[in-house]
Amino acid sequence: MNQWMNMADGALMHTYNRFPLVLTKGEGVYLYDDEGKKYLDFGAGIAVFGLGYGNKKFNQAVKDQVDQIVHTSNLFYTIPLAKAASKLVKASGMDEVFFTNSGTEAIEGAVKLARKYAWQKHPGTKSEIIAMQHSFHGRSMGALSVTGNAHYQEAFKPLVGGVKFAEFNNLESVLSQMTDATCAVLLEPVQGEGGIFPAKKEFLEGIRKACDERDIVLIFDEIQCGMGRTGSMYAYEQYGVKPDILATAKALGNGLPVGAFAAVKKVGDAFEPGDHGTTYGGNPLACAAVDAVLTIFEEDRIVEHVQEVAPYMIEKLDALAAASDKIVERRGLGLMQGLELAVPVGPVVKEAMNRGLITMSAGGNVLRLVPPLVIEKEHVDEMIAILTQILG
């Protein structure tokens, strides 16, 4: 283990404080290190491996595509691109889609599209964006500019201008910052890195109403909370509030680096040839992965499975929280759950790993639980048993 860690540390920029763990393979909802130790994975690569590890149908689709063609550029059509785009439009409820390499790039594109729409409809008058405090949208300069965390931003200023921050779940805070110059409102229906905070229905409804009245583009970042994680394909469906632009990634590729932003037609049509582009985004390999993921979601009824197992996990977490003075509260939607702790979360994450459970933290001293969507009740029981030993 030390050999591989030393090799990596000698060549990599120190942008992560990695755990002293070398992972070598995954099977189902379990990961294994280079010494053969088994770990129950309730992190899923930060909510990425929705289908778990080693899904045969997914793996075969990717292998088959590697043997055909991996990349062509977006100067040409490919069959995987056509299939993936068609299926994602249907799954997201949007009308048009643009494939990216990551969630961060999906946010970059979404912001550009919102500003282009405003520029077309209201030339030179609308460019400001309202984002949320404690939000997280990525670390590129544009995504960082709409991320509501000063700690991430300080060393990289000046950032992209024209961004205001409102209080999440406080409708008046958002409305009070809307002006004739506002072109977009950007938020996560469930804040992830900020501490697993679901939006209130009336909050989203009020923003949607105000955006409609003022011709403001509403952008939802569903990079973490989308793709079935909350119990619907996309979280906005549970609120009955549809955005104009939707950013998605993570579980979309089940481990392959792919994201997308999708839009309703009136907004998506604002883009013209040359307005946006990407060399690798939407290449055949990534799109074959997206096609396979969306096919498996439908054939294996993944969303329905989340709806079955999530209430059981919530029930068990609530019981643990009620029995432990180390837990302040549980919150979340579906299989995107957080335990706010009364003790430091870092040592809990480390102790859980020592006991064979992989978890992660989120803002505000929260233990984040985002397992593969294919977990069963027996895996929930295994997770609860370990956390009970630590927090009980």
What is the pLDDT, as a whole number, of residue 140? 97
What is the pLDDT, as a whole number, of residue 370? 98
What is the pLDDT, as a whole number, of residue 392? 85
Model-level pTM? 0.97
From 238, 266, 299, the end of a domain falls on 299
Sequence-distant (6+) residues with CB within 8 A of 137 are 104, 107, 131, 143, 144, 146, 147, 186, 188, 221, 223
The backbone torsions φ and ψ at residue 279, rounded to the nearest 5 degrees and listed phi first, read: -75, -50
In 3-state terms the chain splits into helix, strand, coil percentages (rounded to 5) of: 40, 20, 40
CATH of the domain at 283: 3.40.640.10
Q: pLDDT tens digit string along 33-70? A: 999 999 999 999 999 999 999 999 999 999 999 999 99
In a domain, 64, yes or no: no
Kindly list the strands in the beta sheet with 38-41, ordered across the sheet, starting from the edge strand earlier in the chain.
23-27, 30-33, 38-41, 357-358
Residues 293 and 324 in one domain: no
Residues 95 and 232 in one domain: yes
What is the pLDDT, as a whole number, of residue 387? 98
Residues 180 and 243 in one domain: yes
Element (H, E) at 338: strand 336-341
User: How many structural domains comprise the chain?
Assistant: 2
What is the pLDDT, as a whole number, of residue 364? 84
Residues 159 and 178 in one domain: yes
Residues 263 and 341 in one domain: no
CATH of the domain at 45: 3.90.1150.10
Residues 210 and 88 in one domain: yes
In a domain, 63, yes or no: no
In a domain, 62, yes or no: no
pLDDT tens per residue, the chain (392 residues)? 689 999 999 999 999 999 999 999 999 999 999 999 999 999 999 999 999 999 999 999 999 999 999 999 999 999 999 999 999 999 999 999 999 999 999 999 999 999 999 999 999 999 999 999 999 999 999 999 999 999 999 999 999 999 999 999 999 999 999 999 999 999 999 999 999 999 999 999 999 999 999 999 999 999 999 999 999 999 999 999 999 999 999 999 999 999 999 999 999 999 999 999 999 999 999 999 999 999 999 999 999 999 999 999 999 999 999 999 999 999 999 999 999 999 999 999 999 999 999 999 999 899 999 999 999 999 999 999 999 999 98
What is the pLDDT, as a whole number, of residue 222? 98
The domain in which residue 261 lies consists of 69-299
Residues 271 and 310 in one domain: no
From 299, 327, 362, the end of a domain falls on 299
